[in-house]
Amino acid sequence: MALDWTTVLSFLIDGLMLGFVFGVAAMGLTLIWGVMDVINLAHGPLIALAMFGVYLIMNFLGLSNPYPALLLTTLLALPVGMGIYYLAVHRVIDAPHLSSLLATYSVNMMLMGVMNAVFGGAPRNIDFSLGSITLFGNIVIPTARLVAALAAILIAAALYFFLYRTRVGRYIRAVTDNRDAAELVGVPSTTILALSFGLGVLLAAFAGGLIATIFPFTIFDGGRYELKSFVIGVLGGLGNPIGSLFGGLILGVIEGLVPMFLETSWTPVIEFGLFVFILLVRPTGLFGGKS
Amino acid sequence: MKFGKKTLWVMLVLLLVFALALAACGGKGEEAAPSGESSSTAETGGGTESGGATESGTESGAAEAKEVVLTIGFTESQTGKYNVSSGRQVKGLKLWLKHINEAGGIKLSDGTVVKFETVSYDDESSKDRVQELYTRLATEDDADFLISPYSSGLTAAAAVIAEQYGKVMITTGAASDSIYKQGYTQVFQIYTPASRYLTGAVDILQKVDPNLKKIAFVYEDSKFATSVVTAAKEYAESKGYEVVLFEGYAPDTTDFGPFINKIVGKGAEAILGGGHFQDGSTFARQLHEEGVPVKFVALLVAPPEPDFAELGDAAVGIVGPSQWEPQAQYTPEAANELGIEWFGPTSKEFVDAYVAEYGEEPSYHSAGGYAAGLILEKAIRAADSTDPAKVKDALDAMDVLIFFGRIKFETAPEAHGLQIGHEMVYVQWQKDDQGNLKKEVVWPEAGATAELLYPKP
């Protein structure tokens, strides 16, 4: 294949743009893990639910572009996430990890069951197009993908600002560091935990909605992105949301470049190989975090 | 709560007894539907309910006019990725059923009147479900004849069952050649086999642009698509083309970006491939979004579907092989010229009836469904009997022209049941003078309704 720089750039740019979006999805997972030591196994179905949310809101309101629906879905995700926390997670937050795993997994099963009953397995597609942009004469970028990548960067920046420049963000970081100590100095830890879970779900929903603007989806697609989130989480450091964004970029680069040299079906093999390798060699992730 | 040991034993025994009682009652029960959403539907023209065992041979009234109700079993993909095409296939089959029962069934020479009913379930586009459900159709529901599900993958699973239980199965919506190389004797194919799906596309290229040399095959990693492109690749290479890319994608792929980049990187001038409706449509859409500069694109299954028009501009110029198109020129006169028999309605009659019944245009999947029923009817008439063995012999001997095309089955044991009479037509979406999308037949030239739009815009 012609290895000229426009070809390489095409592959790379495609991979990177998606990498940002996957990074946001992973941030949702790692935020929850970081703050409360809970692995949210309902992450996948929540992503899928957001995809359907955007689709349904668009159709219900007769919108011609999905972004208002995306905003609405994302805003709704916060109370939904907090609700899941209070109902399923709060009671087992201090129990051994297995309990919280089971709790979130049961939420996963319930969501999948309901979605299957309501939507079925058929693929859906959000029918809209923003056209495309051409760089350097022959690299074509569909505008919707570019918008998704930019939106992902924006929300990552917003999260960073929130965590490091606001009081509530400081509370979250305090609870992450040491929940008991935080409680002692007056931080309402339960509310903060619920808020953090809600934020994690919000991020997952935002990523899911963005993906829905680019690709067709089924209720089962959430699982695929959940898997990527785990890989990214490990790459970037579980518990380190900003590291997740970089982990997403790394994954994006892998997904972009591997098909240049191998058959595309090798990409997951390489991804998971890397996943296992990092777990063995540096379990705290490339950028550090909880192990 | 603490129980004494004795209490626990008593409870255990009671539980066992209760469970046994439940199992006994449940086993006798009607319609214990398989888990999941399967709906068993029975259409009758002649009156008996479906459900448990249905005997083929219910006497009615007068001693001379014996009425026989044959049960036709099949599954439909009401949910899952095949639901669009399967739905159309079943609509076609049900239209035939309506016609035959309205006409009073088939009258055999001994005065027996043969009517039909169906038993069907939702296979959820899943192979596992197909296996369970066809076994159920063959055993509990006592189907006399089977029609396949839609798609080669699901049909392969059903064919195993049909052969195992010795039920004649007419397959439609299933083109893969490999099903007929397994040594089966009960399975008969309506569709043109996969090996002849895209060879015509190569012929088109040869005719319209002899300078084009580089072809990329990007196809769904499924039984059907793989057999199509493997045969097409051989054919293309034998005609001197350079196959610059030959790569499969997972059936649930939604991101064709890497493939598109490879296609551009390797300088392909034509793309052949695709798979089924969903992935084919998504591929076409992304090809358009990324502005891929190829001159010719031929995709499987998706382009001939009327729903493909939803892609709008992305559909323009896309070519697709089709088992049948409404404009197809099969007529009783053509049968005369070929020296074979004509049977059944003309294309126009079929299309009009379908539109009247369903309010939509039929696709070739719809036509295939109707053709399956029609061929079964022809076989029963030719055999002058409902005996499955005689019907099978009639199918072996069949060589007939119907609205769908010529139907003739291979009888040699190494490929028994393969369709050898039928051929593909090629369609392309073009914009008419008002800017509306229209599906035109562009090949073979004898039956074409418009010239090929080349290169693809």
- CATH number, residue A76: 1.10.3470
B310 touching A, CB under 8 A? yes
Of B205, B190, B220, B418, nearest to B300 by C-alpha is: B220
Buried b (16+ CB within 10 A) or exposed e, B259-296: bbbbbbbbbbbbbbbbbbbbbbbbbbbbbbbbebebbb
d(CA B16, CA B10): 10
Q: Does the residue A72 lie in any domain?
A: yes
Structural domain for A162, as ranges? 5-120+142-281
CATH number of the domain at B196-322+424-447, please? 3.40.50.2300
Residue A61 C-alpha, separation from nearest chain B C-alpha, in angstroms:
20
Q: Evaluate whether A233 touches A275 at the Cβ level (below 8 Å).
A: no
Q: What is the DSSP letter of B46?
A: S
The answer to whether position A287 is within a domain reads no
In a domain, A286, yes or no: no
Is residue A88 in a domain? yes
String of DSSP letters for B372-402: HHHHHHHHHHHHTS--HHHHHHHHHH-EEEE
Domain range annotation of chain B:
41-192+330-415, 196-322+424-447
In the structure encoding, which two tokens stand for residue A171, read together? 């509370």
| Number of other residues whose CB lies within 10 A of the CB of residue B252 | 15
pTM: 0.74
- A290 lies in a domain? no
Q: Is the bond preceding B455 in cis, omega lying within 30 degrees of 0?
A: yes
Q: Please indicate whether, in this complex, the C-beta atoms of B248 and A265 are within 8 angstroms of each other.
A: yes
Q: Which of A215, A256, A264 is nearest residue B249 as measured by Cβ atoms? A: A264
Q: Among A119, A126, A264, A265, pick the best mutation site for testing chain B contact (most B Cβ within 10 A).
A: A264
Interface contacts (A, B; CB < 8 Å):
81
Same fold, B41-192+330-415 and B196-322+424-447: yes
Q: pLDDT tens digits, chain B, 457 residues: what are they?
A: 566 788 888 888 788 877 777 766 554 443 333 433 333 443 333 334 333 333 444 444 444 568 899 999 999 999 888 988 999 999 999 999 999 999 999 999 988 999 999 999 999 999 999 999 999 999 999 999 999 999 999 999 999 999 999 999 999 999 888 899 999 999 999 999 988 899 889 999 998 999 999 999 999 998 889 989 999 999 999 999 999 999 999 988 888 988 998 998 889 999 999 998 889 999 999 999 888 889 999 999 899 888 898 888 899 999 999 999 887 778 888 888 888 899 999 889 999 999 999 999 898 999 999 999 999 999 999 999 999 999 999 999 999 999 998 899 999 999 999 998 888 889 999 998 888 888 888 887 767 788 888 888 8
Q: Decide if A70 is inside a domain.
A: yes
CATH hierarchy code of domain B41-192+330-415: 3.40.50.2300
Give Cα B410 distance to the centre of its chain.
19
Distance in Å, alpha carbon of B327 to nearest chain A alpha carbon: 30
* Inter-chain touch B258–A264, beta carbons under 8 Å: yes
Overall number of domains in chain A: 1
| Contact flag B265-A215 (C-beta cutoff 8 Å) | no
The answer to whether the CB of A179 falls within 8 A of the CB of A169 is no
Residues in contact with B142: Cβ distance below 8 Å, sequence separation at least 6, in sequence order: B53, B54, B55, B56, B71
**How many CB atoms are located within 10 Å of the residue A260 CB?**
19
CB distance from B128 to chain A under 8 Å? no
Cβ of B255 within 8 Å of Cβ of A142? The answer is no
Q: Is residue A116 part of a domain?
A: yes
Total residue length of chain A: 291
Q: Which residues pair with A132 in a beta bridge?
A: A142
Contact map slice: B 364-423 vs A, CB within 8 A: none
Is A273 part of a structural domain of the chain?
A: yes
Residues 6 or more apart in contact with residue B160 via CB below 8 angstroms:
B131
